[in-house]
Chain A
Amino acid sequence: MELDYGRETWIVECPPGRLRDIAQWLRNDLGYSFGSLVVEQVAAGWEVTYLFPESTGKGWIYLVVRLKEGDDTLPSISDLVYAADWPEREAEDLFGLHFSGHPKLGEFVLHEHWPEGVNPMRREFAASQEAPRGRSPLPLYPSPILEAPGAMALPIGPVFSDFAESAQYILETTGEEMIRVVPRFFYKYRAVEKIAEGKRAEDVLLLAERFSGSSAFAHGLAFCQAIEAISKARVPRRAAQLRCLFAELERLRHHSSHIAAICGSTGLDVAQAQAAIIEEELLRLSCVVAGHRYLFGVMCPGGVSLDLNRHALEEISNRVANLGERLLALHDGLRYSSSFLDRIEEVGVVSTENARAFSLVGPLARASGLSEDFRVLFPYAGYERLKVQVATEEEGDGYARLRVLFREATESIRLIRELAASLVDGEVRAPVEPKPGVGLGTVEAPIGAALHWVRLNEEGRVVRYRVESPSFRNWLGFRIALEGFGFQDFPIILATFGLSNAECDR
């Protein structure tokens, strides 16, 4: 047992044969959620670590499964722990591990044109080499699996008419209703975890900030927490408070942008413009106080790279208070717009049972009645002093998601103002000595729980970097929200999910 950011971690060796029993026991009887699956290639073979956080914040269990060299098979747990489905498929594609009993492996991260048996995350594969070419790419018009009269498959993407991220959705239908939905992601796979290997921590930080620019600060924070956990570095109190302040500023900006996208998806242009004005004002505020519109470069191991003076704090406090009033006015306007509510109410429903079964995270899960929030469960950066009020709604539809966004934005404004008024004096950065070891950083990013697992070698260089992002988790639940609804609901459900492909694909 070791203490790691005030949370207890038990590291348990697990023989492959017992993995399914223990995973089921943790999930069903002890109420553990699923964190991530981390595959590491070690000298003796493989070390596969399953991370399970306790769903009321008591601690973490790491199940470590060791495989000898040449033994590439371990049992799949995806039928017991649904959230392990995609991590297993990813590990199969990138490492060539086989998960026996998994119903669908292959062609996930690496698309059809990538030859079988070439696994880029293996040590023997050099990141700098050319992508190997195997079979021809997927046909543009796939045939449906659905067997019914008039069945057809409608592919949407990967290039869209507006400014949308690359991803493909294959909607199978016999007419109006989306009966089966097959999302195809990883068009944006940039191999962040692979190219981080061998780099120094401060260079990987640039990558951590830039793989998902819309929540750059949260991911930079999670990465730095992992580095600080390895070095046992203490972050000064003022630096921790500033981290919370910037993280909430980013959440507020992200949620404003998400609200604008939801209004835009229903064609309510004035409301979209109102939210977009708030978003732009927050971007400008971030740029004025921190030198970058998306807060790149603010985070650094051991603290933050800049301090805010009294004038800047007052400016932030006053500006967000004003924006808060305008957000409330916008919410009031939306609440009485029946044509708007008709489009998002009882659309794209994710039930509490489904949200729990798929271990969904973030505002999406909180709109479906789950109250998990890493700021409260596993507090970091001094969030325990702030008494964060977690916003939850029960219905799990598009409107519930919108209400959660408004409530979280309001809470962020309260936190920013409280932090700005109560900032203690002191240093904003402590020295961090790189040490060998492994660390986990966990942050409640704007979209949900983000996990960054980092292993450093004796030279302080990254040997393994694993990112479990909230979008990767939540896209798994996208299919269940779509199926049964009509085509016309697709863009609206997509907007109310508000997930990022850059964050998912990495």
Chain B
Amino acid sequence: MLHWLGKGLTTGIKSSAYPASPDKNPGVTPGRPVATRMGPDMSQFVADRCPGHCFTPRANGVDVDYRTCILCNRCRRDTPAVVHWEEGYEWGVQMSAQSVHERLNSAFGRSLHIRFVDAGACGACMSEARLLNNPYYNMHRLGFFTTATPRQADILLVAGPLSDAMREPLRQTYDAMPEPKRVVAMGVCAISGGIFGKSFASAGGIAECIPVDVVVSGCPPPPLAILHGLLLVVNRVPPSSLASALDAESGP
């Protein structure tokens, strides 16, 4: 056992500095397309080619719908330098007015217990969620823990498009949690059904079954994006929105 003690000590601290300072290490995020200014012909062309129909063509450019973007990379590869990509990972967004005003009591905001439900997620979302416990991301340093029972959970973290057989277990888990409770939907599948869409086997997002407070887009969202979503629940990072960046900016 001395071997492992020594190994642990000599490995040193690997944890990311986020959210105290941004994590700029290469490879922590795949990036994502952002609303880009372009001519109307080009914006229609870009929108037509997107397999997930994530771009909305506007007079002055294209808007991106992060609820459906599955990061297929095709806009980046097939029409290079037309659609801009950002390297960020702060992809969490509040969905309900309630979660903005009525937050979890700040006294408990630094020790929160998470219950995770896999509602049909592919291995990638599973793996990124698991990596929250990895030395690099280490959610314990921010006061987040997983719990063995929904009775002690403050946050329900859900991935997957909500397969038919998981409706009942998800609802029961949600019902078993005490108030106040918050739901975080991670990955586009949990938000909109993603690539699986809406069918007899997939509900097309967990909002069909339980109320969602925060969504984290991405396919899969990298661990830092999930952390951003969790921090958003307890107001430890500034709020963000899905509003169009094209409207916010003025000028050409």
Q: In the bound complex, what is the Cα–Cα distance between A165 and B169 (angstroms)?
A: 13
**Beta-carbon contact of A284 and B201 below 8 Å:** no
| Contact count A vs B, C-beta below 8 Å | 215
Of B95-103, B160-168, B241-249, the segment with at least 4 beta carbons within 8 Å of chain A is B160-168
**Beta-carbon contact of B122 and A187 below 8 Å:** no
Which chain B residues (101-134) contact chain A, with CB distance < 8 Å?
A: 115-134
B28 nearest CB neighbor, chain A only: A284
Q: In the bound complex, what is the Cα–Cα distance between A191 and B195 (angstroms)?
A: 12
Q: In the bound complex, what is the Cα–Cα distance between A427 and B231 (angstroms)?
A: 46
**Beta-carbon contact of B51 and A206 below 8 Å:** yes
**Beta-carbon contact of A190 and B196 below 8 Å:** yes
Of A125, A159, A268, most buried by chain B (CB within 10 Å of CB) is A159
From B118, B195, B200, contact of A188 by CB (8 A): B118
A333 nearest CB neighbor, chain B only: B3
**Beta-carbon contact of B26 and A284 below 8 Å:** yes
Q: Which residues of B contact A502 (CB under 8 A)?
A: 120-123, 126
Whether A339 sits at the interface, judged by CB under 8 Å, is: yes
- Say which size band chain B's interface belongs to: 35 or more
Known interface pairs A188-B120, A294-B220. Does A283 touch B200 (Cβ–Cβ under 8 Å)?
no
**Beta-carbon contact of B8 and A273 below 8 Å:** yes
Q: Which residues of A contact B128 (CB under 8 A)?
A: 293
Known interface pairs A190-B196, A206-B72. Does A161 touch B166 (Cβ–Cβ under 8 Å)?
no
Q: Which residues of A contact B27 (CB under 8 A)?
A: 283-288, 293
Of A192, A202, A284, A503, most buried by chain B (CB within 10 Å of CB) is A284
B173 nearest CB neighbor, chain A only: A159
Q: In the bound complex, what is the Cα–Cα distance between A187 and B173 (angstroms)?
A: 15
**Beta-carbon contact of A337 and B3 below 8 Å:** yes
Over the window 30-48 of chain A, the binary record of Cβ atoms lying under 8 Å from chain B Cβ atoms (1 yes, 0 no) is 0000000000000000000
Q: Which residues of B contact A114 (CB under 8 A)?
A: 164
Number of A residues near B (Cβ < 8 Å) is 74
**Beta-carbon contact of A206 and B70 below 8 Å:** yes
Q: Which residues of A contact B70 (CB under 8 A)?
A: 206, 210, 296
Of A6-14, A127-135, A393-401, the segment with at least 4 beta carbons within 8 Å of chain B is A127-135
Over the window 129-156 of chain B, the binary record of Cβ atoms lying under 8 Å from chain A Cβ atoms (1 yes, 0 no) is 1111111100000000011111000000
Whether A213 sits at the interface, judged by CB under 8 Å, is: yes
From A128, A163, A206, A293, contact of B129 by CB (8 A): A163
Query: Distance (Å) between the CB of A168 and the closest chain B CB?
Result: 9
Q: Which residues of A contact B126 (CB under 8 A)?
A: 163, 165, 213-214, 502
From B5, B71, B123, B135, contact of A273 by CB (8 A): B135
Whether A257 sits at the interface, judged by CB under 8 Å, is: yes
Known interface pairs A186-B165, A287-B27. Does A163 touch B130 (Cβ–Cβ under 8 Å)?
yes
Of B38-46, B58-66, B73-81, B209-217, the segment with at least 4 beta carbons within 8 Å of chain A is B73-81
A501 nearest CB neighbor, chain B only: B118
Query: Distance (Å) between the CB of A304 and the closest chain B CB?
Result: 11
**Beta-carbon contact of A191 and B165 below 8 Å:** no
**Beta-carbon contact of B123 and A287 below 8 Å:** no
Q: Which residues of B contact A161 (CB under 8 A)?
A: 146-149
From B77, B118, B195, contact of A305 by CB (8 A): B77
Q: In the bound complex, what is the Cα–Cα distance between A280 and B130 (angstroms)?
A: 11
Known interface pairs A162-B146, A276-B135, A339-B1. Does A203 touch B163 (Cβ–Cβ under 8 Å)?
no
Whether B229 sits at the interface, judged by CB under 8 Å, is: no
Q: Which residues of A contact B122 (CB under 8 A)?
A: 210-214, 216, 502
7 A–B pairs (Cβ distance < 8 Å), ordered by A: A163-B116, A164-B118, A166-B169, A195-B199, A271-B4, A293-B222, A500-B123
Residues of A whose CB lies within 8 Å of any CB of B are: 111, 113-114, 120, 125, 127-132, 137, 158-166, 186-192, 194-195, 202-203, 206-207, 210-216, 257, 268, 270-271, 273-274, 276-277, 279-280, 283-288, 291-294, 296-297, 305-306, 333, 336-337, 339, 500-503, 505
